């Protein structure tokens, strides 16, 4: 699964990298993005502007918004079979912006790793979103990150990884594309373009959100 990530780009760098308008008043750089937080996405609903959606997809038909904490990820192998995700895959897709993600290796002891592009550049993970309306009439837009099997780098750490889109397919992900083409995008990112390193256990708590979290540590 993908349960934590970072996105710390400054406003101007986001504009340059992803070609969207950024409202500085709403955007906050985060070293420890966690479920339940409002985080940076680019959606097919508003592709020209950076939006903040809540992490943990709440389907439009949900009775209880807490279901979102169970739907932070969507498995590519079953996304078309799940009522929570199949509608969003067809018409509500987004780019989840990041510059690294965290995963925990379980042996010989549980150790957090940060995984990123070799050149340190920002990237987009494939996301699905939905709009839920509370009994009080509040609109809540939320998202889930698609996951796939591991590449050769990730398999040494965990058996899942987020779907990272290459630059050529980022914009296509949020355009009107045939379902067959969409499914072709849902594959592991090349291990040769990625690097992983151990980080402090401070990342274990979502209350911690500082530059110290992305500093390499010795094993």
Tokens of 126: 């494939």
Catalytic entry in 2, 33, 94, 170:
2
Pairing of strands 123-133, 51-55: unpaired
Whole-angstrom CA distances from 156 to 62, 152, 172, 196 are 37, 7, 31, 10
Strand partners, 194: 117
Q: Nearest-5° angle of CA 87, CA 179, CA 127?
A: 55
Residue of 10, 48, 49, 103 marked active site: 103
In sequence order, the 6+-apart residues with CB closer than 8 A to the CB of 61 are: none
Residue 97: name the closest of 126, 127, 123, 129 by CA: 123
Pure H helices in the chain:
11-18, 86-91, 167-173, 179-185
Active site residue 2: yes
What distance in Å separates the CA atoms of residue 69 and residue 53, rounded to the nearest whole number? 14
Residue positions annotated with a catalytic role: 2, 103
């Amino acid at each position: 699964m993908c349960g934590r990530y970072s996105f710390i780009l400054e406003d101007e760098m986001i504009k340059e990298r992803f070609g969207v308008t950024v409202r500085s008043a709403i955007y906050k750089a985060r070293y420890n993005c966690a479920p339940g937080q409002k985080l940076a996405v680019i959606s097919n609903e508003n592709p020209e502007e950076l939006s903040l959606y809540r992490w943990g997809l709440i389907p439009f038909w949900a009775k209880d918004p807490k279901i979102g904490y169970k739907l932070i990820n969507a498995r590519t192998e079953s996304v078309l079979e799940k009522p929570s995700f199949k509608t969003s895959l067809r018409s509500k897709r987004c780019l989840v912006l990041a510059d690294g993600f965290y995963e925990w290796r379980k042996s010989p002891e549980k150790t957090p790793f940060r995984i990123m592009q070799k050149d340190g550049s920002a990237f987009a993970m494939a996301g699905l979103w939905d709009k839920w309306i509370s009994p009080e009439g509040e609109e809540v837009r939320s998202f889930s990150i698609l996951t796939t099997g591991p590449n050769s780098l990730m398999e040494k750490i965990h058996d899942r990884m987020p779907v990272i889109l290459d630059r050529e397919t980022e914009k296509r992900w949020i355009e009107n594309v045939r379902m067959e083409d969409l499914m072709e995008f849902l594959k592991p990112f090349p291990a040769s373009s990625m690097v992983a390193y151990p980080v402090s256990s401070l990342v274990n708590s979502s209350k911690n959100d500082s530059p110290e979290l992305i500093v390499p540590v010795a094993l």
